[in-house]
Amino acid sequence: MADNSPKKDITFFHPDLLDISADGQACLKGYRCKSCGQLDFPKLSPCPNCWGEEFEVVPLSKTGRLYSVTDIFIAPAGMATPYSFGYVDLPENLRIFAQLEGPPGSFKCDDEVELTTGTIRMNRDGLPITSYKFKKTN
């Protein structure tokens, strides 16, 4: 008999984006194309530069600079408002769009931020989805 039970929604976003080690340390995964050397985040396959399909996974820097930031007060379903997001520029010449951990109003452009993990939204089953976030460097 076919399984018609509703499929469970995800609670982690996403193994291609980050690793979390047993001791809770998170790391964003960069992808370096083995044929042309271009480094991308998130994973783009094939490589948009040369269409290569083999990649070396490169751990990305854990700290970066907040290029811009905003606090959101009207949001899609599954998001608790207010929350903040921004663009984080990493030394690898990559820009990461990320939610920020910390009170809205507490971030400004060019703040130094570091990688963390936390709940980015609730899924369809009402459970938290964990992924990367950034917070102010201590």
Partner 1 sequence: MKLQREVYIAGVGETKFGKHELNYDALGRIAALQALRDSNINRPNVVQSAYVANATNGLVTGQTVLKDLGMCGHMPIINVESACSAGGMAVHMAIRDVATGFAEVSLGIGCENHTLELQAGTTFKPSISDIEGMQGSVMTGKYALRAQRYMYETGATIEDLAMITVKNRRHATNNPFAWFKGEISVEQVIGSRMVASPLTLQQCCGIADGAGAVVVCSAEMVKKLGIEKPIRVAGTVVQSGPYHNRPRDITGDDITETTSEQLYHESGIGPEDIDIVELHDAFTISELLYYECMGLCAKGEGLKYLRDGNATYGGKCVVSPRGGMLSYGHPIGASGAAQIAANVKQMRGQCPGYQVDPIPRVAVSHVTGGGLAGTEHAACTMHMLVSDW
- In the window 83-102, what residues touch partner 1 (CB under 8 A)? 83, 85-87, 89, 93-95, 97-99
Report residue 22 as tokens.
Answer: 């047993």
| CB closer to partner 1, 23 vs 77 | 77
Interface with partner 1 includes 19 (CB under 8 A)? no
Nearer to partner 1, 35 or 123 (CB): 123
- Nearest CA to 87 among 72, 65, 104? 65
Measured from the CB atom, the residue of 22 and 80 that comes closer to partner 1 is 80
Q: Does 20 bind partner 1 (CB under 8 A)?
A: no
* Contact characters 32-51, partner 1, x per CB under 8 A: --------xxx-----x---
What residues contact 123, with CB distance under 8 A and at least 6 apart?
9, 10, 11, 78, 129
